[in-house]
Amino acid sequence: MMNYPRLLIAGTQSGVGKTTVTLALLSAFRAKGRRVQPFKVGPDFIDPGHHRMASGRESRNLDGWMLDQEINRTTFLRAAQDADLSIIEGMMGLFDGSSPMSDRGSAVEQAKQLGVPTLLVVDASAMARSAAAMVHGYATFDPTLQISGVLFNRIKSEGHYQLVKDAVENETKVRVVGYLRPNPELTIPDRHLGLQTAIEGKNEQFYKMLGESISETVDLDLIEQLAQSAPELKSHDESQPIHIHDRKTKKTVKIGVAYDPAFCFYYQDNLELLEAEGAEIVKFSPLVDHVLPDVDLLYLGGGYPEVYAKPLAQNAEMRQAIHRFADQGKPVYAECGGLMYLAETLRNFDGEVYDMVGVIPGETAMSRSQMTLGYRELTLTCSGILGEQGMKIRGHEFHYSRLQSKSTLNYVGQVADAQGRSCGKDGVRSGNVLALYTHLHFMSHPSVARNLVKAVRHS
């Protein structure tokens, strides 16, 4: 048994500042010499990128719908084993998940399963005593959950902070740890899929300033005490097989992973599962590179190709190189933004059309009125590079584009949402190219990584 000091940063709702608080704490504890391990609850790529910049360590996703309890637990234990402190950023509001009737897929589910003390973030910018009513409601809604502390965000003055602090401490047993002031200089710009990504510009000084800011108005020692109050967790049983990530496998194939501001949405676990199956990951940039690296398979993840459509279109050498790679029958696997890049053209929000790679017939068109968001379970209706017919793999969708084609498209699967309702077809196949809108989490069915590596060996 080990202690694994850990803390969940949860919000009353989306937009209250969970990410700002998480990044500030990661940076502040790192500055104090702590090895601090970040996690993110839910299907998210953007926040973990910022976590990595603030902490200097890879962030891991925990998810109660895409992944089962044992996988989440193993993921936590493996990443936290050499850390002094783990900070887990929640998703949406504390109790929000895949079902309005249960904890499934929510931050509170992870808090219970991993025994994590909870720090509630409240936007108190327009509150006084009402803050006590809100904290009281969250603290008593679920008797099996203990909210250990509350942090107020967007407090403009010490006097305002004292009002909400006194109200909460008078009406509840929840400890108030401090507050953050509103500061436009310490805000990450927002866009249609969430925050601007870490790779797009925020430098180390930004995260350092966040850490310094929270150190001025928040009791970091108290927060560390709350994290250390977490109950012990049983560590890895040495008699059991080692975690799949840690297998020592000879590198026999090379996978080219598109990685730049246009394509940066990858689960770290997906990449490490591929490595565990014998793949060497070779990163390249469709934005700036003009030739492909010497690889056996291409993995084009999600991101913001619509934002970078012009430079992607202008880099004709790379588009042609990927087209030739596909024409040679070599495997190409793409998700969401990668699918958009593989289509013939991309139409952005302003109606401007740009040439893309052209191995998927049709155009992807952006529309702010056509947001697609939610958990997905992909059932393969035919065998291919992901696996055998009937295999089920979980993930999520989040996009504003639609694939429009005059040709009949060949799909490899059907998708359903978290409630099991059909969401149509997904997975366009053209030769040895497979492109989906769903972002798959390979840990939901670890044989996906093995099958992708096999596809290289059999191509």
Q: In what order do the strands lie in the sheet containing 360-366?
A: 353-355, 343-347, 360-366, 401-404
Residues in CB range of 439: below 8 A, 6 or more apart = 43, 45, 265, 267, 301, 302, 335, 336, 395, 396, 397, 398
Degrees (nearest 5) of the Cα angle 255, 259, 261? 165
CA dihedral 164, 15, 9, 37 (to 10 degrees): -140
Is 336 noted as a catalytic residue in this protein? yes
Alpha carbon 155 to its chain's center: 28
| Active-site option among 264, 336, 382, 423 | 336
Spatial separation of the C-alpha atoms in residues 399 and 371, rounded to whole Å: 6
Place of tokens 């009002």: 163
Degrees (nearest 5) of the Cα angle 166, 169, 170? 80
Find, among 17, 50, 312, 396, the residue nearest to 197 by Cα. Answer: 50
Q: How many CA atoms lie within 13 A of 181 on its CB side?
A: 13
What amino acid positions are annotated as catalytic residues?
A: 336
